[in-house]
């Protein structure tokens, strides 16, 4: 998706647009099916993941090197 003219979304293909709508429909369905407390718990969990990732003591490159997955440039 690219943006043009006052932040109006423009999709690369009809499939991209259909996938976006499918995701929105699924998300709305889940919003309607679950109580607010479920989403509060999920938000707390995701926020804790983000906080943990920010304080991770290794850089991405250091971590991949330890795992043996860093590609040689």
The average pLDDT across 50-56 equals 88
pLDDT of residue 48 exceeding 90, the answer is yes
Residue 47 lies in a domain: yes
Q: How many domains does the chain have?
A: 1
Domain that residue 55 falls in: 2-67
Residue 72 lies in a domain: no
Residue 40 lies in a domain: yes
Contact 1, 12 (CB under 8 A): yes
pLDDT of the residue at 5: 53
- Collect contacts of 39-48 with beta carbons under 8 A, ≥24 apart: none
Residue 25 lies in a domain: yes
Residue 20 lies in a domain: yes
pLDDT of the residue at 3: 47
pLDDT of the residue at 70: 74
- Give the pTM: 0.42
Task: Return mean pLDDT, the chain.
Answer: 82
Residue 73 lies in a domain: no
Report in angstroms the alpha-carbon separations of 2 from 6, 14, 15, 16.
Answer: 12, 14, 15, 11
The average pLDDT across 16-43 equals 89
């Amino acid at each position: 998706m690219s943006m043009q003219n006052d932040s109006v979304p423009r999709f690369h293909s009809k499939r991209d647009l259909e996938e976006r709508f499918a995701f929105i429909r699924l998300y709305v369905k889940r919003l309607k099916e679950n109580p607010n407390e479920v989403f509060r718990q999920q938000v707390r969990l995701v926020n804790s993941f983000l906080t943990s990732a920010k304080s991770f003591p290794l850089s991405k490159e250091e971590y991949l090197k330890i795992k043996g997955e860093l590609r040689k440039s």
